[in-house]
Chain A
Amino acid sequence: AQTVTQSQPEMSVQEAETVTLSCTYDTSESDYYLFWYKQPPSRQMILVIRQEAYKQQNATENRFSVNFQKAAKSFSLKISDSQLGDAAMYFCAYKTRQGGSEKLVFGKGTKLTVNP
């Protein structure tokens, strides 16, 4: 079974600085998706970024980018120019593309604090 590990329960960053959140996963599959979701205090889960495993190019969405290392099974999220609104729980998630289940496998999350 696939597993997702987020080794940093909490992280903090100064406003306007850059922070990187770590995520590693374990799978025997070759085709899958990886996601970062943000959950602010409102508790609404918001998609931050998605990466298809077959794509070598790292996904980018404005100030958010990933470092996808397929061989190392690593999928870190970099937040540049951090803003107060980035403060939230961040969850890394895995989803197979090989048919069958559409379930997401979540990590335990990283709580990000942004200091003014």
Chain B
Amino acid sequence: GAVVSQHPSRVICKSGTSVKIECRSLDFQATTMFWYRQFPKQSLMLMATSNEGSKATYEQGVEKDKFLINHASLTLSTLTVTSAHPEDSSFYICGGGTDTQYFGPGTRLTVL
């Protein structure tokens, strides 16, 4: 299957700072990438769809100004959590692929 990398795997930051998470498709070109958030013992919750060269599409209830998404190339999508607060602490996963979606290993964000 296709390979998706995600960096960093873990990040701890102070409240009020911004954190950037990178998602790369290593062996395929991704015009679309998906960003998910996962709470403990729950399923993946889609936050937004990242579109190469255009604006991201956000799911209802997701603050687009807090979760900034950039998809500048066919292999890189980034999620920036701006002015992070403890309630933003979570596990973030990106995914991409055409017929089948493949996932990055995830990023555990802890906001102190």
B93 part of interface (Cβ distance < 8 Å): yes
With A43-B91, A102-B32 as known contacts, state yes or no: A50 contacts B100, CB within 8 Å: yes
**Which one of B43, B46, B93 lies within 8 Å of A103 (CB-CB)?**
B46
Q: What are the interface flags for B82-108 relative to A under an 8 Å C-beta threshold, 1 for contact and 0 otherwise?
A: 000000000101010011111101100
B25 part of interface (Cβ distance < 8 Å): no
Q: Interface residues of A, CB < 8 Å — how many? A: 22
Return chain A residues, CB-CB under 8 Å to B1: 47
Q: Whose C-beta in chain B lies nearest to the C-beta of A52?
A: B99
B59-99 with Cβ < 8 A to chain A:
91, 93, 95, 98-99
- How many residue-residue contacts, CB under 8 A, span A and B? 52
Return chain A residues, CB-CB under 8 Å to B105: 42-44
Q: Whose C-beta in chain B lies nearest to the C-beta of A9?
A: B41
Interface-lining segment among A16-24, A69-77, A105-113: A105-113
Return chain A residues, CB-CB under 8 Å to B91: 43
Q: What are the interface flags for A5-47 relative to B under an 8 Å C-beta threshold, 1 for contact and 0 otherwise?
A: 0000000000000000000000000000101010000111111
A91 part of interface (Cβ distance < 8 Å): yes
Q: Whose C-beta in chain B lies nearest to the C-beta of A35?
A: B100
CA distance A9 to B39 in the complex (A): 16
Return chain B residues, CB-CB under 8 Å to A102: 32, 34, 49, 98, 101
**Which one of B43, B98, B99, B103 lies within 8 Å of A107 (CB-CB)?**
B43
Return chain B residues, CB-CB under 8 Å to A44: 103, 105-106
CA distance A104 to B93 in the complex (A): 13
Q: Whose C-beta in chain B lies nearest to the C-beta of A47?
A: B1
B44 part of interface (Cβ distance < 8 Å): yes
Q: Whose C-beta in chain A lies nearest to the C-beta of B33?
A: A102
Query: B100 near A47 (CB under 8 angstroms)?
Result: yes
Query: A103 near B42 (CB under 8 angstroms)?
Result: no
